């Protein structure tokens, strides 16, 4: 039997998809590159915000229309959150599978193919470093935790993924070793909040103390041999463990790339979001990072249109954006999610105003990001090569797309490398930054000794 996986959502969802693929492959299924060859279509859905939910539902409808003879399984966060409702409202799907027990995908797939609805429970742990990878060549995500206890008033993650749970250090180190043995050059640590790692471990045990959770994990990873990158993605600013900066200074394999979602620049709105910090503490955090790391890169996220956001609040957000001067910034409009505290908040902002504010943020960020990338021109870095485009003629160089330490997978600009010589995908090559083209950087490969 063959399956085709249609993935949606965040990097954490991607790791779930990779683990499901590993379990199916182990059970004798084969992943189909062409959906026409598949017996089963698996849609790994996102249920975070309204637009993402609709995208996943549309995927089910489109697959049913284009492949009426195939079985369709809606998996992932949307299925986890709305399984009962969807069973009645979405008959186009043959079954639904959540995220509580990824190993159960094997039984779910078997039952759907036999015509029975899935009902799965298993104690088998998720697959580790031998899972198929959906990342670009040379890079892999490492999910160090799941769930969330921050309870931001707008966020449905606790409703979908439950309470915060850290994975054991020894399991993560073992998975990293396996990935590095496979030739992975970049390990991207992910979780809903890396700064909370270890807080759920038993108090009083030194290597599981909340105050040293993430630093202890990084120390353990630092003991691994080899030349590779470690990138930290998503640290809640209210839980930033400053001691990781010492580790990153001592081990240059930890990239000075900091993904910190500040969300807003109005203390009133931050408080309504159930966030404990304020613009001043957040700007101090940015200043500390940039003081200690000349090449430190800040990525952040803003949310516009939160209930009660006035023009004055938005002006404070614009002021914060200017002062923070983040290298990279993503902006989203508020999505009203049932079950969250913000759902019943008054003074809702119209979608039109929220969208206009989002557009303003994005427009003002363009010159900021361009300025931040200009500081790398004329300098040399290693670039992780991810994609190749054949030359137009024999006299032309090949165009390769890659990433520098200042660029995270999929969300930031790219490095454009023109090389007359072959560059192996998934490897890192020394390059010099010679120009900036929009958000992208143009690179010239250097001779390798």
Question: Would residue 234 be called left, alpha or beta, if left means φ above 0 and alpha means ψ between -120 and 50 degrees?
Answer: left
Please write the tens of the pLDDT for every residue from 251-276: 999 999 999 999 999 999 999 999 99
Over 90: is that where the pLDDT of 119 sits?
Answer: no
304-318 burial string, b = 16+ CB within 10 Å, else e? Answer: bbbbebeeebbebbe
Band of residue 207 on the pLDDT scale cut at 50, 70, 90 = very low
Over 80: is that where the pLDDT of 246 sits?
Answer: yes
Q: Which of 112-126, 153-167, 176-190, 295-309 has the lowest mean pLDDT?
A: 112-126
Taking residues 6-26, report their average pLDDT: 89
Residue 211 pLDDT? 43
Model's pTM, two decimal places? Answer: 0.88
SS3 336: coil
Residue 151: Cβ-neighbour burial (10 angstroms; 0-12, 13-18, 19+): exposed
Query: Residue 5's closest CA among 58, 34, 43?
Result: 43
Residue 144 pLDDT? 93
Phi/psi of residue 208, nearest 5 degrees: -130, 20
Band of residue 208 on the pLDDT scale cut at 50, 70, 90 = very low
> Angle formed by the axes of helices 105-114 and 11-26, to 10°?
70
CA dihedral 81, 86, 88, 91 (to 10 degrees): -150
Alpha-carbon distance of 285 to 278, in angstroms, equals 11
Band of residue 126 on the pLDDT scale cut at 50, 70, 90 = low
Band of residue 100 on the pLDDT scale cut at 50, 70, 90 = confident
Show me where the domains of the chain are located: 2-114, 139-374, 380-445
Are 289 and 296 a contacting pair, CB within 8 Å? yes
Please write the tens of the pLDDT for every residue from 380-400: 999 999 999 877 666 667 889
Residue 47 pLDDT? 80
Over 60: is that where the pLDDT of 120 sits?
Answer: no
Domain 2-114 annotated CATH 3.40.50.12160: yes
Over 70: is that where the pLDDT of 117 sits?
Answer: no
* Residue 292 to residues 249, 250, 279, 383, Cα–Cα distance (Å): 8, 12, 20, 23
Band of residue 102 on the pLDDT scale cut at 50, 70, 90 = confident
Over 70: is that where the pLDDT of 14 sits?
Answer: yes
Over 90: is that where the pLDDT of 87 sits?
Answer: no
* Homologous superfamily of domain range 380-445: Nucleic acid-binding proteins (2.40.50.140)
- Comparing 248 with 396, which gets the higher pLDDT? 248
Taking residues 219-227, report their average pLDDT: 94
Choose from 6-15, 121-130, 235-244 the range with maximum mean pLDDT.
235-244
Please write the tens of the pLDDT for every residue from 351-373: 999 999 999 999 999 999 999 99
Residue 153 pLDDT? 94
Choose from 1-10, 102-111, 309-318 the range with maximum mean pLDDT.
309-318
CATH, range 139-374: 3.80.30.20
Query: Residue 418's closest CA among 393, 438, 391, 440?
Result: 391
When the pLDDT of each residue in the chain is averaged and rounded to a whole number, the result is: 89
């Amino acid at each position: 039997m063959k399956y085709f996986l249609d993935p949606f959502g965040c990097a954490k969802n991607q790791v779930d998809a990779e683990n499901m693929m590993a379990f199916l492959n182990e059970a004798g299924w084969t992943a189909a590159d062409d959906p026409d060859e598949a017996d089963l279509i698996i849609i790994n859905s996102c249920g975070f915000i309204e637009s993402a939910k609709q995208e996943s539902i549309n995927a089910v409808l489109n697959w049913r229309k284009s492949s009426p003879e195939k079985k369709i399984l809606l998996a992932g966060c949307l299925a986890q959150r709305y399984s009962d409702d969807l069973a009645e409202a979405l008959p186009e799907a043959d079954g639904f599978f959540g995220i509580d027990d990824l190993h159960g995908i094997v039984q779910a797939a078997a039952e759907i193919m036999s015509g029975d609805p899935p009902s799965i429970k298993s104690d088998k742990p998720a697959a580790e470093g031998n899972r198929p990878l959906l990342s670009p060549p040379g890079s892999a995500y490492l999910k160090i935790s799941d769930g969330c206890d921050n309870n931001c008033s707008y966020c449905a993650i606790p409703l979908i993924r439950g309470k915060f749970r850290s994975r054991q250090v020894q399991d993560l180190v073992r998975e990293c070793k396996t990935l590095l043995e496979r030739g992975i050059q970049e390990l991207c640590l992910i979780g809903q909040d890396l700064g909370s790692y270890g807080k759920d471990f038993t108090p009083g045990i030194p290597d599981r103390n909340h105050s040293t959770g993430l630093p202890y994990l990084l120390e353990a990873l630092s003991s691994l041999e080899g030349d590779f990158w470690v990138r930290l993605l998503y640290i809640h600013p209210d839980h930033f463990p400053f001691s990781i900066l010492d580790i990153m200074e001592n081990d240059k394999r930890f990239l000075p790339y900091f993904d910190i979602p500040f969300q807003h620049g109005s203390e009133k709105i931050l408080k309504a979001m159930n966030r404990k910090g304020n613009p001043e503490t957040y700007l101090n955090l940015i200043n500390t990072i940039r003081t200690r790391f000349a090449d430190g890169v800040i990525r952040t996220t803003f949310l516009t249109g939160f209930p009660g956001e006035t023009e004055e609040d938005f002006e404070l957000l614009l002021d914060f954006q200017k002062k923070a001067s983040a290298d990279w910034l993503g902006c989203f409009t508020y999505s009203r999610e049932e079950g969250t505290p913000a759902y019943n908040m008054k003074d809702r902002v119209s979608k039109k105003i929220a969208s206009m504010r989002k557009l303003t943020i994005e427009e003002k960020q363009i010159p900021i990001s361009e300025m931040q990338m200009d500081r790398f021109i004329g300098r040399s870095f290693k670039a992780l090569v991810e994609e190749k485009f054949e030359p137009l003629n024999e006299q032309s160089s090949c165009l390769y797309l890659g990433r520098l330490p200042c660029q995270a997978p999929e969300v930031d600009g790219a490095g454009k490398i023109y090389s007359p010589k072959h560059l192996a995908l998934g490897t890192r090559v020394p390059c010099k930054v010679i120009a900036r083209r929009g958000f992208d950087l143009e690179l010239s490969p250097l001779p390798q000794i």
